[in-house]
Amino acid sequence: MVAVTDMSPDATPAPAAVDGNAAAPARNIGVVPTASLLTGAAIATVWFWIPLAILIIGISSIPSGIGVALSAVVFIYLMRGVEHVERVRSEAVFGLGIGVPPRRLSPYAGIQRWLHQLWLDISSSRLWKATAHHYLRMAYDMLVAGVALALLAFAFLGPAAAIAIRQSDVDAGLSFLSPPLAWLLAFVAVVAAVAILIFAPAVDAAIDRWLLSPSPTAALEYQVSALADARQGAVSSAQTERHRIERDLHDSVQPRMVSLAMTIGLAQTKLDTDLPAAKQLIAEAHDDAKNALVELRNVVRGIAPTILSDRGLDAALSAVAQRSQNAGIPTTINLHLPRRLPDEVESVAYFIVAEALTNIVKHANATQAVVTVRLDEAANQLHVTVFDDGRGGAAITTDENATGLRGLEERVRAAHGTFTVSSPATGPTIVSAVLPCAS
């Protein structure tokens, strides 16, 4: 199985793109950056040693191996948490709008997913860049704060020491430092300390931009992985749709056509000997033909609903909801669609609602269904949600005879969207998808 690459939700609220090139103007100078530097230096005097201590403890217990494994797990989670905090701090202090590097997610489940995810994290450049950033920032902040503190200490103590030495008979080796020179050097030290504290955060911002930004290679890997995942979703979706069409034709239309052919054959044998019976058989054949047309239209509607292309998603979903209503499930539909969307997005949204309502009618034993389709124009995303209050237990499976939800997941994945199903055993069931609407 191929690991999925995704934007980590635990990274940062910064709205920057994956490549991180379109950064906002930085706030490198001011009270907040200086306060951030001093706070970082104060915290670093204690925190600097904690992750290192974890690694040392793990290495010291190599004979058992358990300490190494536990320390590695703790270190990974610790660094992930630190990265999140650093990204939030950087955005709040500097406003750089740094993009979030992609994080590969394990496709497995259970303990295998956890172990595989640990391996993906520890083998990723993102984790080690975040670690390098954290320690470089701490070392730099401690150095800058230490130099500034030393300069301020000299500014306050130097003149007093010079005056005391001049008035004392003891030669402390500092007789060359006259009080006027000491006051001049104290003034220079204060100016230098203030300048350091004001301008040093610019280097902090440069470190953030250097080590927190995704590398061009990581961005390219993300795009390649996303395209490969979408391609796989499209292939799987096409295969699932082909199987569904084959099943529908085999289970509904084909038996109707066989029955129609047999009825017409019987009618032919009775035309000369029993005309009333032949007429009755022809009438039955006519009914079978009409029913076959209805079922064929349903199959065709599942491939390419005409109303969707002619009148748009609003009208198509209203028609789907009406069919569910006619089947005995009261259905409420809430739409916010201020404009037409790309054909692929409308098609995927239509099939999500149509399949979900079909499942509700067939399996849910629900008393109501609610369809919500909302376009988020700020994020340029379409949110689709189908709720029912029936019995739960719906899940995406690999069963070849249960292709409905799996087919929807593959359709959504092919459209670069996200698809989720929440269906506890006692209900309710919520099927939701988020579809990007970029043309």
DSSP 381: E
Q: Write the DSSP assignment of 185-252 as a string of letters.
A: HHHHHHHHHHHHHHHTHHHHHHHHHHHHSPPHHHHHHHHHHHHHHHHHHHHHHHHHHHHHHHHHIIII
pLDDT value of position 300: 59
| Confidence at 149, pLDDT banded by 50, 70, 90 | very high
Tokens 């955005």 correspond to 91
pLDDT value of position 23: 41
pLDDT value of position 439: 57
pLDDT value of position 4: 44
Q: Write the DSSP assignment of 5-63 as a string of letters.
A: EEE-TTS------TT--SPPPP--SSHHHHHHHHHHHHHHHHHTHHHHHHHHHHHHTTT
pTM of the entire predicted model: 0.52
SS3 content of the chain, % helix, strand, coil (to 5): 65, 10, 25
User: Which of 417-436 are b and which e, b meaning 16 or more Cβ less than 10 Å from the residue's Cβ?
Assistant: bebebebeeebbbbbbbbbe
In this predicted structure, the answer to whether residue 54 has a pLDDT above a threshold of 70 is yes
pLDDT tens-digit map of 327-347: 788 888 888 888 888 888 888
| Confidence at 144, pLDDT banded by 50, 70, 90 | very high
pLDDT value of position 141: 92
Q: In angstroms, what CA-CA distances link 5 with 121, 130, 366?
A: 12, 18, 37
The mean pLDDT value of the chain amounts to: 76
pLDDT tens-digit map of 378-396: 888 889 999 988 887 777 7
Output 246 or 85, whichever has higher pLDDT.
Answer: 85
Three-state DSSP class for 422?
strand
| Confidence at 67, pLDDT banded by 50, 70, 90 | low
Mean pLDDT of the region 255-284: 77
pLDDT tens-digit map of 289-331: 777 776 676 665 555 566 777 777 888 888 888 888 887 888 8
pLDDT value of position 188: 92
Output 46 or 151, whichever has higher pLDDT.
Answer: 151
Span of 142-156, 281-295, 355-369 with lowest mean pLDDT: 281-295
Spatial distance between the Cα atoms of 396 and 272, rounded to a whole number of angstroms: 57
